Amino acid sequence: EDQVTQSPEALRLQEGESSSLNCSYTVSGLRGLFWYRQDPGKGPEFLFTLYSAGEEKEKERLKATLTKKESFLHITAPKPEDSATYLCAVQANDYKLSFGAGTTVTVRA
């Protein structure tokens, strides 16, 4: 069974304090790993897709990386507007998305 584990569960940062979120996964036949951002009461917003180990994607202050067992979402010099829950999901050969429980990031000014 596909498993996705995210850590930490919650992360409180000072504005400008860089940090990383972890997503470890166990899946048979990874087709893709996805990062989403979700604000309270809203739908997940697509951020990145990573397909193979060694791949990296960047968007503004966010950078996602992938190894054979885990992915990291690096937040560089975060701002209060980066506060959100970040969800990791994997897609295996059955094409369904399996989500992790998420990391809730709070950035204080």
Partner 1 sequence: DTEVTQTPKHLVMGMTNKKSLKCEQHMGHRAMYWYKQKAKKPPELMFVYSYEKLSINESVPSRFSPECPNSSLLNLHLHALQPEDSALYLCASSHEPTANEQYFGPGTRLTVT
Interacting residue ranges for partner 1, rule: CB under 8 A: 31-32, 34, 36, 41-46, 49, 51, 87, 89, 91, 95-97, 99-102
Q: Which of residues 59 and 77 has its CB atom nearest to partner 1 in the complex? A: 59
CB of 18 to partner 1, least distance (A): 25
Cα 9 from Cα 78, distance rounded (Å): 18
Q: Which of residues 51 and 69 has its CB atom nearest to partner 1 in the complex? A: 51
CB of 109 to partner 1, least distance (A): 24
CB of 70 to partner 1, least distance (A): 17
| End-to-end Cα separation, the chain, in angstroms | 41
CA angle 94, 98, 102 (to 5 degrees): 165
